[in-house]
């Protein structure tokens, strides 16, 4: 056991490890210790903005009684699902908190408390966001009825921004408070590990929300679609379809609550990684404090920029997408420019610290985010060749559609990983230029938080998708006039496109964050090397790489099984409720039973994949820490690739179908359309269940390893 | 640079590294230096057996003039493809030989010569095997006409065993001669690296044969099938279908020549890895010579056992599969029991060498092979749940069929990797028990050659698939009586089932071989560690893991493009050759043009994926050796997983279709059948193009790195 620190200086960062900030506190325009308070303040500001937007949403007219009735059914179903899900997850959270208490005596009881707090905040943010989203859907439909897309888009975005700023506000204020509590106010051993436990709390909720919600949403979707084909003549969104409400509930619990919890944990993980890494590696150096505060500063900056950006989203021309993206671009630009401030205030003037390097790291993080967004857009939007090609392949049937989507999904995954790899090299180089030994890895961690810093606006845009989709469903079920249905449909298309891009970005940022956490884990367990040429590491690598395949398989099969239960129930209702199958106007489907059955099935189905995700790293860690590091590395690489592949293939199939429905290759009803619908159906569990869940899996497994690092030794 | 050797003794092998064989040569019953001569002898024996079987095949009656006419067209098309492929590949081989000469001055000129020899032997074995296979197909059809399956099976197997024993005989005799030439007869620097260059020659041919042949076969298949649906009323195997001969040619060039070259290189890689590892690591130890001879001894043993096993394949009961498997089981059993001999003769009596450990290593290698065969069978045969489940999902349409196959393919890949990992741990432990430091890795390498040792019989069984398939095609095209067609069809089903299992085994053995080669590479470049926590390694790992995704995407897309060219040509013929589309009896399709066009398209399409496979490891190696090791590890894990996933999903879809065609879920013509056919079509490029090619890719990239190791430093 010897010789090399886990961070090699080969790409930079070989300077004197001991340096002192040269300036006395009075010379620094902003006291570094203020940043956590500013984080709490910025988080609170975001929550205020969310509250204001929520009021605006709730004040908008909610349409006819029929529309409200549907909206209420959706909301009740969604809340019923979440209540039951959180009851199950609550048991897990308490058990895990107990385990943390037993195995990590150092931080007792704060580790367990932080874990529970993280879980509660993540779950709470999801619930609040979802309540508003399920109020926004009906109002968006009504707005479309009154003023078309131009009136509906701002309302849907407002609903989305409630979700976005609730999630990011809770996260920033929560982690800011946690930081203050554990490092300043309380006497806590190993405060940074306790903060990591808080991130783990968020991750746990995210895992079950993504898996459970993801299984629910796709099972309901598939169930509702099949009714259309096999059991009766009524269309998918007809109010007499018993599965129709469950389908809409799925959009909420998977698309809003699941995504909210997921992004809460991304943010938390990205924030904690550089803090923990600096605390573990920069001890005794003059810039330790600055390095710990810097990620908080970037997060504060990103939040401010997101808030400003969110005010710029309003349709001015005919290009609705441009209106949405303007906000994001402005937020990214402001964060990039503004980061000069914290870099200078925290690190400025020290003779040996290269400010430019730290500034570059932030720029690289933001640029990688934009590059992945661009790449994802090229592979999932119908303006580019891949989607057009899939649509063209529909002419020769479903098999060629499936193969084209799979091939381009794989290609896009490889390219995305190339972008991520380039970003890592850049951030490592720039970070090494800026700080002494360890600066390269710190740079990677800072790039990760930079990628996540504009989460407020990103989630706002992403959450617009399910709101618009729900609005379209309500418009069809009510039913509203043809014109309104077309408006909500256009909004839904826009939402799908932005959601696909947001997914790619989420996976990319998860990869960088996980990498930073993995390096931090290596430092925490003090491994001199995680050597691929050791059999332990290689076995870990093989098993870790295999796990995302197993996980995806379990989740995809769970969707199929749950969908079957839904189909059985729908068939029963058509058989037993008189007049339902024939479409008699007075026949009423029993939505609640469909919702209940799917809820139970989805919750049971999430147990095995969820449990494996938590148990495997712990079990391997107690056997061999080096094998665990290999396992995490293996899961990171294949998890990222599979998640990208599935998300992008799913997004591309979805948009190829829409392209044909808009009239290409024969339009609706043609053979090409039938083939494209089949491709889209294959893509559903790819892009909305397995892909996003893998995204959480790789982060969670690394965070849990980091939290329990000292117990393994 | 310090402290730990690339092999850690954590799982065993911590004893004194310097030991001397205790017995004087006269005490050993078999002079260790005899083994390479025995290898040449055993290889020659296998070739004699192949020649005898070839005579038997050629002496069998070849049916009517019409049948012979078809068979000649297939043979001519196959040879035309191979001639053009080898012309292209010849340029590559010469360029590569030049590169070896320039960059590796030590072994000059023997490295380049060995490389060319390996390429020539691999290509030659493929050509001979294919010539006989394309003679066996028509005779198998005729045998089925005369005596049904019971007469056709032995003939088809005889044809397969010509392929099997030609490939394995050429490989064993060739490497045996190479061993003698480079280590004994000639004055060669670094003889083991020169031997590795010979393996690389075989790999290069295998790569292009697998990729080019794989693209050709599936493009022709898809093209021929589509004719059926879109252009006319004639069925896929109708003689008037212009693509029908190209389809059959594809079975030969992809299924026989491609597989032969692939298995030649597997065998070569598995043989070279333990020899090179021992030479690099056991220098100065008394058992160095024994350790170098041991893999040759295992290969000799396996060849003898395969020859004996091949005489036991004859249908005695009604279970045709059992007849085929009997030969394999006997060969494996004989190899296992017989390995006590070489273990004792080579290592016996030394106080510190544990003979049991070496014996266990061989058993573990053989057991892993059988376990993977069993597992692959469970996921691809219609006797087990996964295939039954896929067939059941056909009831609800193509999307559920696709998802069920994808999920179970992924699951099977994860389980297979679990089996491989268990085998690696076992072999490492047993090897470490047997020999001092380094014994663990040596054990893994020996397990790999044990897995490949019964190649003779395995390939014989595997090559039966395309022969039977071709016979079925000829029976349909001639056309032979209904009864005969059913008999050849049954034989074809059997061939598909055994081919699926053989593919799984090939991928599993490729994984273990590649791992052994990777460890050898680590020793060759003298890396103290390939540390995942170094950014260089991690970047390599990410890019390496991404490459199989990119490669698969390129290959799958190439199949689509090539199929399109085929379809265009078929359409042209229907348009321009009068009476063809209406099925007029005197209309003659222009087969040769179809064959020629597909040949060109497939050859062009193989260039990019093939070139990347060769160029990337070289380029990365010259930048950073540690990054290259990470790259190889990444490619190994995702390459194995993707290859297993694709091969097994494809096999499962294929058999689900056959299950339905045999009458399940409505049988032929039902909606379920239509859905299953679509699943099968998705599986074609998975199981016959991308999957088997990946298998070669991961080995080739590691062998090329090993050959150029000294140039990188």
In tens, the pLDDT along B393-407 reads 888 889 889 999 999
Q: Which of residues 614-643 of A touch B (CB under 8 A)?
A: 629-630, 633-634, 637-638, 640-641
Give me the mean pLDDT over the B263-280 stretch.
Answer: 91
pLDDT of residue B474: 85
Which domain range does residue B553 map to?
31-276+288-712
Residue from A276, A410, A432 nearest A364 by CA: A432
Domain-embedded: residue A2: no
**In the predicted structure, residue B594 carries a pLDDT above the cut 60:** yes
Distance of CA A407 to the CA centre of its chain: 24
- CA–CA separation, B274 and B272 (whole Å): 6
Q: Which of residues 201-240 of A touch B (CB under 8 A)?
A: 226, 229-230
For tokens 């899996």, name the residue. A697
**In the predicted structure, residue B576 carries a pLDDT above the cut 90:** no
pLDDT of residue A255: 78
Angle between helices B288-310 and B259-281 (to 10 degrees): 160
pLDDT of residue B322: 78
Domain-embedded: residue B137: yes
- CA–CA separation, B372 and B451 (whole Å): 11
Size of interface A-B (CB pairs under 8 A): 252
Is A64 buried (19+), middle (13-18) or exposed (0-12) by CB count in 10 A?
A: middle
- Closest partner CB to B534 (pick from A2, A8, A404): A8
Angle at A445 between CA A439 and CA A448, to 5 degrees: 145
Note whether A527 contacts B533, CB cutoff 8 Å.
Answer: yes
Residue from B85, B179, B167, B153 nearest B125 by CA: B167
B443's tokens: 């054990």
Note whether A560 contacts B397, CB cutoff 8 Å.
Answer: no
Q: Work out how many domains chain B is built from and give that number.
A: 1
**In the predicted structure, residue B6 carries a pLDDT above the cut 50:** no
Residue from A329, A193, A171 nearest A262 by CA: A171
Q: How far is CA B33 from CA B23, B28, B191, in A?
A: 15, 11, 16
Residues of A in contact with B441 (CB under 8 A): 535
**In the predicted structure, residue B651 carries a pLDDT above the cut 70:** yes
**In the predicted structure, residue B20 carries a pLDDT above the cut 70:** no
Mutant choice from B417, B542, B547, B640 vs A, greatest count of A C-beta within 10 A: B542
Q: How far is CA B132 from CA A342, B337, B558, in A?
A: 75, 33, 29
Indicate left, alpha or beta for A659 from its phi (over 0: left) and psi (-120 to 50: alpha).
Answer: alpha
| DSSP state, residue B531 | B
Residue from B215, B292, B247 nearest B689 by CA: B215
Q: How far is CA A652 from CA A401, A406, A589, B380, in A?
A: 10, 10, 34, 29
Distance of CA B654 to the CA centre of its chain: 19
Domain-embedded: residue B673: yes
pLDDT of residue B85: 87
Q: What is the mean pLDDT of each run of 10 residues along chain A (713 residues)?
A: 34 36 54 90 96 93 85 85 87 92 82 94 87 88 88 89 92 94 84 90 89 87 68 63 80 81 87 93 85 94 95 73 84 94 83 86 95 92 90 87 95 97 96 87 95 90 85 84 86 82 88 94 87 92 97 93 82 79 72 82 88 95 95 97 96 92 86 90 91 93 93 88
pLDDT digits (tens, 9 = 90+) for B103-149: 887 777 889 999 999 999 999 888 888 888 888 988 999 999 988 88
CA atoms within 13 A on the CB side of A548: 38
B130's tokens: 């294919």
Q: Is B550's Cβ below 8 Å from some Cβ in A?
A: yes
CA atoms within 13 A on the CB side of B136: 34
Residue from B275, B122, B302 nearest B196 by CA: B275
A210's tokens: 């993504």
- Closest partner CB to B407 (pick from A10, A532, A556): A556
Q: What percent of chain B has pLDDT over 90?
A: 45
- CA–CA separation, B596 and B601 (whole Å): 9
Residue from B50, B530, B403 nearest B260 by CA: B50
Q: End-to-end alpha-carbon separation of chain A, Å?
A: 14
Give me the mean pLDDT over the B47-59 stretch.
Answer: 94
- CA–CA separation, A213 and A527 (whole Å): 37
Note whether A678 contacts B6, CB cutoff 8 Å.
Answer: no
More confident residue, B198 or A464: B198
- CA–CA separation, B662 and B671 (whole Å): 15
Residues 6+ apart with CB under 8 A from A534: A626, B8, B10
Q: Which of residues 643-662 of A touch B (CB under 8 A)?
A: 645
pLDDT of residue A352: 75
Distance of CA B282 to the CA centre of its chain: 30
Q: Is A348 helix (H, G, I), strand (E, B) or coil?
A: coil
Residue B652: pLDDT band (50, 70, 90) is very high
Domain-embedded: residue B19: no
- CA–CA separation, B230 and B359 (whole Å): 59
Distance of CA B69 to the CA centre of its chain: 31
- Closest partner CB to B549 (pick from A8, A410, A519): A410
The answer to whether A545 touches B638, Cβ cutoff 8 Å, is yes
Note whether B536 contacts A11, CB cutoff 8 Å.
Answer: yes
pLDDT of residue A21: 44
B367's tokens: 């057991």
Q: What is the CA radius of gyration of chain B?
A: 25
The answer to whether B400 touches B412, Cβ cutoff 8 Å, is no
Distance of CA B498 to the CA centre of its chain: 13
pLDDT of residue A332: 94
Q: Is A667's Cβ below 8 Å from some Cβ in B?
A: no
Q: A557: nearest CA in chain B?
A: B407
Residue from B420, B467, B500 nearest B164 by CA: B467
pLDDT of residue B7: 34
DSSP secondary structure string for all residues of A202-235: HHHHHHHHHHHHHHHHHHHHHHHHHIIIII-SS-
Residue B12: pLDDT band (50, 70, 90) is very low
Distance from CA of B510 to the nearest CA of A (A): 14
Domain-embedded: residue A459: yes
Note whether B518 contacts A533, CB cutoff 8 Å.
Answer: yes
- CA–CA separation, B71 and B53 (whole Å): 19
- CA–CA separation, A324 and A154 (whole Å): 10
Residue B10: pLDDT band (50, 70, 90) is very low
Tally DSSP H helices, then E strands, for chain B: 21, 0
pLDDT of residue B583: 65
- CA–CA separation, A149 and A172 (whole Å): 33
- Closest partner CB to A424 (pick from B539, B629, B633): B539
More confident residue, B571 or B53: B53
Find residue B531's DSSP bridge partners. A531
* Dihedral sign computed on CA atoms, order B97, B101, B106, B108: positive
Q: How far is CA A209 from CA A122, A255, A564, B423, B555, in A?
A: 10, 10, 21, 37, 37
Q: How far is CA A326 from CA A74, A301, A322, A333, in A?
A: 32, 18, 6, 10
Note whether A398 contacts B398, CB cutoff 8 Å.
Answer: yes
Q: Is this prediction's pTM over 0.90? A: yes
Domain-embedded: residue B665: yes
Q: In whole numbers, what is the pLDDT of chain B averaged over residues? A: 86
> ipTM of the assembly?
0.92
- CA–CA separation, A237 and A492 (whole Å): 14
Residue B318: pLDDT band (50, 70, 90) is low
Domain-embedded: residue B512: yes
pLDDT of residue A115: 94
Q: Is A428's Cβ below 8 Å from some Cβ in B?
A: yes
**In the predicted structure, residue B4 carries a pLDDT above the cut 80:** no
For the stretch B322-355, what's the b/e string if a residue is b when 16 or more beta carbons lie within 10 angstroms of its beta carbon?
Answer: ebbbbbbebbbebbbebbeebbbbbbbebeebbb
Residue from A650, A317, A308, A337 nearest A460 by CA: A308
For tokens 């968006």, name the residue. A140
* Dihedral sign computed on CA atoms, order A176, A179, A184, A187: positive
The answer to whether A209 touches A85, Cβ cutoff 8 Å, is yes
- CA–CA separation, B700 and B200 (whole Å): 7
Domain-embedded: residue A24: no
Note whether B8 contacts A549, CB cutoff 8 Å.
Answer: no
- CA–CA separation, B445 and B517 (whole Å): 8
Q: Is B706's Cβ below 8 Å from some Cβ in A?
A: no
CB atoms within 10 A of CB B69: 14
DSSP secondary structure string for all residues of B677-710: HHHHHHHHHIIIIIHHHHHHHHHHHHHHHHHTHH
Residue B233: pLDDT band (50, 70, 90) is low
pLDDT of residue B8: 34
- CA–CA separation, A54 and B283 (whole Å): 75
**In the predicted structure, residue B23 carries a pLDDT above the cut 70:** no
């Amino acid at each position: 056991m010897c010789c090399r620190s886990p961070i090699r200086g080969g790409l930079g960062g070989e300077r004197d490890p001991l340096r002192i900030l040269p300036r006395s506190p009075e010379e620094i325009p902003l006291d570094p210790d203020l940043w956590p308070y500013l984080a709490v303040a910025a988080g609170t500001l975001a929550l205020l903005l969310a509250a204001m937007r929520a009021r605006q949403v709730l004040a908008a007219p909610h349409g006819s009684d029929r529309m409200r009735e549907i909206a209420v059914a959706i909301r009740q179903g969604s809340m019923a699902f979440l209540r039951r899900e959180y009851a199950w997850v609550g048991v897990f959270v308490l058990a895990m908190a107990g385990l943390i208490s037993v195995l990590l005596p150092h931080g007792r009881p704060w580790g367990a408390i932080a874990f529970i707090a993280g879980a509660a905040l993540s779950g709470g943010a999801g619930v609040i966001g979802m309540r508003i989203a399920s109020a926004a859907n009906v109002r968006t439909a009504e707005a479309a009825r009154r003023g078309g897309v131009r009136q509906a888009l701002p309302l849907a975005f407002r609903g989305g921004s409630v979700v976005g700023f609730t999630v990011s506000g809770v996260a920033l204020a929560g982690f800011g408070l946690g930081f203050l509590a554990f490092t300043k106010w309380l006497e806590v051993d190993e405060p940074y590990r306790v903060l990591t436990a808080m991130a783990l709390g968020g991750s746990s909720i995210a895992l079950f929300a993504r898996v459970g919600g993801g299984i629910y949403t796709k099972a309901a979707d598939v169930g509702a679609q099949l009714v259309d084909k096999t059991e009766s003549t009524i269309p998918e969104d007809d109010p007499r379809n018993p599965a129709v409400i469950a389908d809409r509930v799925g959009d909420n619990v998977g698309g809003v609550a699941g995504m909210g919890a997921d992004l809460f944990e991304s943010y938390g993980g990205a924030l904690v990684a550089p803090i923990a890494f600096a605390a573990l590696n920069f001890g005794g150096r003059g810039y330790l404090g600055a390095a710990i505060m810097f990620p908080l500063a970037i997060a504060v900056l990103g939040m401010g920029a997101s808030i400003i950006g969110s005010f710029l989203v309003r349709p001015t021309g005919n290009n609705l997408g441009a209106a949405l993206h303007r906000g994001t671009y402005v937020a990214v630009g402001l964060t990039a420019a503004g980061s000069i401030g914290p870099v200078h205030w925290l690190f400025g003037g020290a003779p040996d610290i290269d400010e430019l390097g730290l500034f570059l790291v932030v720029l690289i993080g933001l640029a990688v985010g934009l590059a992945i967004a661009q790449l994802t857009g090229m592979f999932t939007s119908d303006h580019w060749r891949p989607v057009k090609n899939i649509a063209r392949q529909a002419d020769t049937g479903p098999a060629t559609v499936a193969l084209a989507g799979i091939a381009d999904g794989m290609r896009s995954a490889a390219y995305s990983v190339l972008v991520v790899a380039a970003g890592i090299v850049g951030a490592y180089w720039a970070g090494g230029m800026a700080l002494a030994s360890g600066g390269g890895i710190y740079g990677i961690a800072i790039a990760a938080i930079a990628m996540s810093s504009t989460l407020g606006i990103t989630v706002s845009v992403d959450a617009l998708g399910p709101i618009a989709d729900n609005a379209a469903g309500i418009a069809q079920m009510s039913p509203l006039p043809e014109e309104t249905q077309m408006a909500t449909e256009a909004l839904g298309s826009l939402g799908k496109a932005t959601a696909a891009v947001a997914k790619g970005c989420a996976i990319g940022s998860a990869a960088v964050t996980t990498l930073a956490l993995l390096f931090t884990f290596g430092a925490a367990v003090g491994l001199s090397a995680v050597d691929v040429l050791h059999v332990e590491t290689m076995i870990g690598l093989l098993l870790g790489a295999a796990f995302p395949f197993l996980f995806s398989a379990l989740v995809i099969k769970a969707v199929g099984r749950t969908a079957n239960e839904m189909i059985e129930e729908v068939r029963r209702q058509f058989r037993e409720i008189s007049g339902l199958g024939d479409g008699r106007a007075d026949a009423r489907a029993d939505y609640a039973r469909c919702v209940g059955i799917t809820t139970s099935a989805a919750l049971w189905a999430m147990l095995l994949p969820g449990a494996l995700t938590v148990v495997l790293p712990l079990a391997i860690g107690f056997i061999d820490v080096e094998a665990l590091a290999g396992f995490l590395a293996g899961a990171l690489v294949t998890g990222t690739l599979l998640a990208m592949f599935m998300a992008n293939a799913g997004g591309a199939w979805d948009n190829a179908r829409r392209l044909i429905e808009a009239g290409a290759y024969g339009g609706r009803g043609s053979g090409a359309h039938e083939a494209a619908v089949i491709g889209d159906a294959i893509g559903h569990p790819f892009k909305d269940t397995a892909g996003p869940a893998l995204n959480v899996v790789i982060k969670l497994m690394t965070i849990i390893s980091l939290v329990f690092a000292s117990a393994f030794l």
